[in-house]
């Protein structure tokens, strides 16, 4: 059994900022995450991506943002429980106890859920069955392995276009294959890719992988025309299957796989708050910048739940302690 004031579930950007802010409020904080590293989806999926919506930084690389958040959170001396999943929630008169999948139990005055989209797994590419690790990947954590290669990226969302844009100056060639002629990616990024040397094939799908042990080429059916493309690397950026997992069994109100909160970031369960992409309320915008603000709101209101004599607004961090 571990005791803390606030237990944060999720070690992505919102959870890390919440950890720092807990320290600013004088709270002991513990952080649980099912991934083995800090940084959430950024670390797992796009550490090299340039992030454009963080105040004060015209652009910042994903891994640099995480590094700064980890350093900031360190000032609160958080206790990390990584590579572990929160499974059970139990209430006492003035505390909440969360059980982890390894048998650990953490008792806290309040819980803050910052789990993003929850546990996630990539959507499979049917033609790529058996090729994972043999040229097929779902993430691009580093650009260096793609230098001088012919790369085929499958998908039409932000990740597909971001990776196409960043791999274009590194790879020998980049081809983006999408089953429709409309894209879900940000319009600005789409235009940047269209203006680059990336080849875009729409109304298209990869139908087969070819190679001796590792992929050497792929068959593509594009608008009724069959073709074979050289490809020593294929990135399947088809999105993710998100699962809130055991959180759905905690009695928390959920709407379309998101946790419903009020203006104080309170969930429907006493002493349980939420912030970041996992939350849902009228007018919700899912940006990292929004998550930071929600984290501060949640921690300040959780501080009052933990100690009713505390004030919601503690003053500005620039005023010191």
CA atoms of 5 and 318, how far apart (whole Å): 23
- 7-40 pLDDT, tens digit per residue, is 999 999 999 999 999 999 999 999 999 888 899 8
Residue 268 sits in which domain range? 2-120+240-319
Domain termination site, one of 203, 236, 269? 236
Q: How many domains does the chain have?
A: 2
Comparison of pLDDT for 261 and 41, the residue scoring more: 261
Domain co-membership, 207 together with 168: yes
> Of the candidates 186, 207, 236, which is a domain's last residue?
236
β-strands 258-260, 204-210 pairing:
unpaired
Question: Is 33 marked within a binding site?
Answer: yes
Residue 153: C-alpha distances to residues 150, 158, 217 (Å): 10, 12, 13
Strand order in the sheet with 233-236: 136-137, 233-236, 150-154, 173-177, 199-201
Question: Cβ–Cβ contacts within 10 Å for residue 277, how many?
Answer: 26
Residue by residue, what is the 3-state secondary structure of 45-93?
HCCCCEECCCCCCCCEEHHHHHHHHHHHHHCCCCEEEECCCEEEEEECC
213 shares its domain with 264: no
46 is in an annotated binding site: yes
59 shares a domain with 208: no
Q: 86 labelled as ligand-binding?
A: yes
Mean pLDDT of 288-295: 97
Tell whether 115 and 168 lie within a shared domain: no
Residues 251 and 209 in one domain: no
The verdict on whether residue 72 carries a ligand-binding annotation is no
Q: CA–CA separation, 206 vs 163, rounded Å?
A: 18
Coil, strand or helix: which one is 14? helix
The CATH number linked to 49 is 3.50.50.60
**Pairing between strand 173-177 and 150-154?**
parallel
Using pLDDT thresholds of 50, 70 and 90, give the confidence band for residue 321.
very low
Rounded to 10°, the helix 187-194/158-167 angle is 30
Q: Is 19 annotated as a binding residue?
A: no
3-class SS of residue 285: coil
- Do residues 97 and 198 share a domain? no
**Residue 158 annotated as lining a ligand binding site:** no
Annotated binding residue 248: no
Considering 188, 217, 236, which residue would you say is the last residue of a domain?
236
What is the value of pTM for the model shown?
0.76
Q: Are residues 115 and 183 both part of a single domain?
A: no
* H or E, element range at 8: strand 2-9
Residues 165 and 62 in one domain: no
Q: Say whether both 9 and 100 belong to one domain.
A: yes
Q: Give residue-wise pLDDT tens across range 166-215.
A: 999 999 999 999 999 999 988 999 999 999 999 999 999 999 999 999 99
pLDDT tens profile 83-134: 899 999 999 889 999 999 999 999 999 999 998 876 667 889 999 999 999 9
CA distance linking residue 121 with residue 130, whole number of Å? 17
Return the exposure string of 253-272: e unless at least 16 CB atoms fall within 10 Å of the residue's CB, then b.
ebeeebbbbeeebbbebebb
Residue 318 assigned ligand-binding role: yes
Q: Where are the alpha helices (DSSP H) in 107-194?
A: 158-167, 187-194
Which sign, positive or negative, has the C-alpha torsion 269, 272, 277, 280? positive
């Amino acid at each position: 059994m571990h005791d803390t004031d606030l237990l944060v579930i999720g070690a992505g950007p919102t959870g890390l900022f919440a950890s720092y802010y807990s320290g600013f409020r004088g709270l002991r904080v513990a952080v649980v995450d099912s991934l083995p590293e800090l940084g959430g989806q950024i670390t797992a999926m796009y550490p090299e991506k340039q992030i454009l919506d963080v105040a004060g930084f015209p652009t910042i690389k994903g891994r640099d943002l995480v590094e700064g958040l980890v350093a900031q959170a360190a000032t609160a001396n958080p206790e990390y429980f990584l590579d572990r999943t929160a499974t059970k929630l139990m209430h006492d008169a003035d505390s909440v106890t969360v059980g982890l999948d390894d048998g650990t139990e953490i008792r806290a005055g309040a819980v803050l859920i910052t789990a993003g989209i929850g546990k996630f797994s990539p959507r499979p590419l049917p033609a790529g069955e058996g090729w994972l690790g043999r040229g097929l990947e779902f993430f691009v954590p580093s650009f260096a392995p793609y230098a001088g290669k012919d790369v085929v990226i499958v998908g039409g969302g932000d990740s597909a276009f971001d990776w196409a844009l960043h791999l274009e100056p590194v790879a020998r060639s980049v081809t983006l294959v999408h089953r429709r002629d409309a894209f879900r990616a940000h319009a600005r990024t789409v235009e940047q890719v269209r203006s680059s040397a990336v080849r875009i094939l729409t109304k298209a799908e990869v139908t087969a992988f070819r190679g001796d042990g590792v992929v050497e080429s792929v068959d593509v059916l594009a608008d009724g025309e069959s073709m074979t493309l050289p490809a020593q690397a294929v990135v399947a950026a088809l999105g993710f299957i998100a699962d809130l997992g055991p959180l759905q069994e905690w009695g928390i109100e959920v709407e379309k796989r998101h946790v419903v909160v009020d203006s104080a970031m309170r969930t429907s369960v006493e002493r349980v708050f939420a912030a970041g992409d996992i939350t849902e309320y009228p007018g919700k915008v899912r940006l990292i910048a929004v998550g930071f603000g929600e984290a501060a709101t949640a921690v300040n209101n959780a501080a009052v739940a933990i100690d009713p004599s505390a004030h919601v607004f503690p003053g500005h961090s620039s005023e010191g302690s």
